[in-house]
Amino acid sequence: MIDLTGFLGAAYPWVKAAHVTFVIFWLAGLFLLPRFYVYHHETTIGSPEDRAWIERELPLPNLRFETFGNSGWFDAQEFVVRLPAQGIEVAVKADQTMLEALENAGADMMFDCRKGECGLCEVRVIELEGDIDHRDVFYSERQKDARSKLCCCVSRVVAGSGRALIEIQSS
Ligand code: FES
């Protein structure tokens, strides 16, 4: 005859351990899975991640990378952008991007991600009054400090002691 009480008593610690292990993995999944689905993107062709992957001869379809947005150092404020090559001068409102303002004004702009990741919307700075609030994840800190170009899909201009104005040239 089976001693059920003894069997259950002996099995209990193992069942409890399995239960605790299951709960730990379940909670880990709740925290980790959204990261994989929300943050992991395929890389942009020609990006540093793309080139490093190719150099290591790894299969491209498996390549993913993670980026974190940059919300800048200053509150968004209105500024003026000039694009003399296309005869455009337009105010960029606090709730719109420089790229949107230029497009609305009829500018012919290049872009792709609109998230400050690919660098396709890069414009060169001809004149600057105020400072650039770089909000991209494309440039290095050294490139940002040079204040010579910016990603117009996310980055903005903030006023110093005077007005906030930027004159640009499409790259
Ligand atoms: S469109 Fe990709 S960084 Fe601006």
pLDDT tens track, the chain, 171 positions: 667 788 888 889 999 999 999 999 888 877 776 665 555 566 666 777 778 878 888 877 777 766 777 788 999 999 999 999 999 999 999 999 999 999 999 999 999 999 999 999 999 999 999 999 999 999 999 999 999 999 999 999 999 888 999 999 987
Q: Is the CB of 151 under 6 A from ligand 1?
A: yes
For the chain, the domains span 4-66, 79-170
Cβ neighbours, 10 Å, residue 131: 16
d(CA 84, CA 127): 11
Residue (of 17, 165, 169) closest to 91 by Cα position: 165
Ligand 1 centroid to Cα of residue 99, in Å, is 9
For the Cβ of 119 lying below 6 angstroms from any atom of ligand 1, the answer is yes
Cα distance between residue 119 and residue 97, in whole Å = 15
Token code pair at residue 146: 């040079």
Q: In ligand 1, which atom is closest to the CA atom of 113?
A: 2
Q: Which atom of ligand 1 is nearest to the CA of 118?
A: 2
* Contact of 8 with 16, CB cutoff 8 Å: no
b/e 78-98 (16+ beta carbons within 10 angstroms → b): bbbbbbeeeebebebeeeebb
In ligand 1, the atom with minimum distance to the C-alpha of 154 is 4
Report yes or no: 79 and 130 within 8 Å, Cβ to Cβ: yes
Expressed in angstroms and rounded, the spacing between residue 45 Cα and the centre of ligand 1 is 13
| Domain 79-170, CATH number (from 3.40.190.10, 3.10.20.30, 3.30.930.10, 3.40.605.10) | 3.10.20.30
Structure tokens at 90: 């337009």
3-state secondary structure of 126: strand
